[in-house]
Amino acid sequence: MSHRNEATAALKALSVATDACRECPLGAYATQSVFGEGPVGAVLMVVGEQPGDKEDLVGRPFVGPSGKLFDRAVAELGWSRDKLYVTNAVKHFKYELRGKRRIHKTPAQREADACHHWLESEMELVQPRGYIALGGTAARSLLGRPVAVMKERGQWIVDEATGRRVLVTLHPSALLRGDPAQREAAWKAWLKDLSVASSLVKKAAVKKPVEKKPSPRPAASHARRRVRMVME
């Protein structure tokens, strides 16, 4: 099997395994887990916080109101969503019930920590050239430290420990919740942040994808171990 097919199969197995994950309490209350989607070798991995109400019901990331806004930005930037790998730091929806409505609740750090190994496996298998962190939870998961989004937004941050390049910006829900009078300015500033990744996306569009040769020491060893563990 090619490296790409093997990694795609491993992602599928991990996706199934997240559904059964009870390493934190969230899985018991959600409809299903929402794993990442997109191709192995995607130029960018886009990481959100956690699935919302719609994503929980549909089982796919960023298909609700935040996802619609993200799709608008992707179109405006001339990117193509099916070339991105889109996922979340936390794989189950956390909410509180108000009457019949399920209201989003920010995941606790211990919940994000418990979920982190799934994201780590996705990163190892997808091997993107850069990461976009949408909001503070995603930024902390990717950089391993608290991140002041408004201070650090709109520039590549290289994580010294891993060499990963992370572009931090606001979560789209912040734009949806923001002051209507500021909405246009906030939208433009968000697009400007995201556009920092455009040169990477465009470069990848002209380069032919490289089929990775299997190395004697598998690159995705952590992810492979996880797949073995969840399948046993």
Angle at which helices 3-19 and 109-126 cross, to 10°:
160
68/110 with CB nearer ligand URA: 68
CB of 85 to ligand URA, least distance (A): 13
CB 198 within 8 A of CB 163: no
Whole-number minimum distance, CB 202 to ligand URA, in Å? 25
Residue nearest ligand URA (C-beta atom): 48
Nearer residue to ligand URA within complex by CB, 71 or 159: 71
Look-up: residue for tokens 């209201």?
A: 103
**Phi, psi (5° rounding) for residue 96?**
-125, 150
Smallest separation (angstroms) from ligand URA to the CB of 188? 21
Beta carbons of 137 and 122 less than 8 angstroms apart? no
CA–chain centroid gap for 199, Å, is 20
Distance (Å, rounded) from C-alpha 132 to C-alpha 164? Answer: 11
CB of 91 to ligand URA, least distance (A): 10
d(CA 108, CA 172): 20
- Report the nearest approach of ligand URA to the CB of residue 137 (Å): 8
C-alpha 46, offset from chain centre: 4
Question: What's the token pair of residue 167?
Answer: 């572009």
Question: Which is closer to ligand URA, CB of 3 or CB of 18?
Answer: 18
**Residue among 8 and 106 whose Cβ is closer to ligand URA:** 106
Q: How far is the CB of 119 from ligand URA (least distance, A)?
A: 12
Distance from C-alpha of 101 to C-alpha of 53, rounded to nearest angstrom: 9
Chain contacts with ligand URA (rule: CB under 6 A): 48-52, 55, 61-62, 64, 66-67, 88, 171
Q: Which is nearer to ligand URA, 104 or 224 (CB)?
A: 104
In contact, 16 and 121? CB cutoff 8 Å:
no
Q: Which residue number, 62 or 95, has a Cβ lying nearer to ligand URA?
A: 62
